[in-house]
Amino acid sequence: MRVLIVEDEPRLAENIARSLRESAGYAVDVAADGQEGWFLAESNTYDVVLLDLMLPQMDGMQLLTRIRQAGQLTPVLVLTARDEKESVVALLNAGADDYLTKPFDLGELLARTKALIRRGKGQPSPVLVIGDLQLNTVNRTVQRSGRTIMLTAMEYRVLEYLAHRPGAVVSKTELLEHLYDYNWEKFSNVIEVYISGLRRKLDNGSDQQLIHTVRGQGYILQD
């Protein structure tokens, strides 16, 4: 999953980004002002946006409005020092999906971020089930037919993204856009390597393949 943080407090932005990368394995881009946030939001595809309200160049409410006017449906979690009822109502009416009042606990932020990503993909449960495959997105564990499967961090990220879109064809480009941040280096066969590793581990001991290749289009995870 790929997250955009728009926050002008460097230390807070760094702490949030580190927590998301280390605890959830997400790819994270950080913008320090509203204009940079809009450039990144317009140029890239994100699974969730964490948006501070008090920003230079363009404030959070303006950026939120612009994101929604552009037709983007990406879930937005607003980080605000304001807790007045009128401010909360205005945020929700402008298109925010959730909000947290500063100061907040990083564990709660992570939980809310994961919940927004799941809901944004139509998967409200933290446990994703595809046939005899189960992914627990809270503790990042994988089982098939009750057998625990050990994956590398990147193998898990690829599988989790596919599991959020069961039955849909996901292109290699889409996977790259959601698994790497703005500074990623483009390796042409990196996705094929992870898919190969996943197939070897997931299908071991089973006669039914879970990840299928749709030639010229991408990959599909289905029972």
Is 135 found in the same domain as 86? no
Is 145 found in the same domain as 103? no
Is 200 found in the same domain as 111? no
Is 135 found in the same domain as 188? yes
* Residue 209 exposed, middle or buried by CB count within 10 Å (0-12, 13-18, 19+): exposed
Is 149 found in the same domain as 173? yes
In which element (H, E) is residue 128 found?
strand 127-130
Is 27 found in the same domain as 47? yes
The pLDDT value recorded for residue 90 is 86
Is 213 found in the same domain as 156? yes
CATH of the domain at 202: 1.10.10.10
Residue 215, classed as helix, strand or coil, is coil
The pLDDT value recorded for residue 149 is 96
The pLDDT value recorded for residue 188 is 62
Calpha distance 93→105 (Å, rounded): 25
Residue 142 C-alpha from the chain's centroid? 18
Tens of pLDDT, residues 105-145: 999 999 999 999 999 988 888 999 999 999 999 899 999 99
Is 189 found in the same domain as 109? no
Calpha distance 14→25 (Å, rounded): 15
- The answer to whether 126 touches 114, Cβ cutoff 8 Å, is yes
Q: What is the mean pLDDT of each run of 10 residues along the chain (223 residues)?
A: 96 96 94 97 95 93 95 94 75 92 93 94 90 93 95 94 94 89 70 94 89 94 89
- The answer to whether 56 touches 16, Cβ cutoff 8 Å, is no
Is 164 found in the same domain as 105? no
Q: How many domains does the chain have?
A: 2
Is 20 found in the same domain as 86? yes
Whole-model pTM? 0.87
Expressed as residue numbers, the domain containing 63 is 2-120
CATH of the domain at 34: 3.40.50.2300
Is 94 found in the same domain as 171? no
- The answer to whether 86 touches 59, Cβ cutoff 8 Å, is no
| Domain final position from 73, 96, 120 | 120
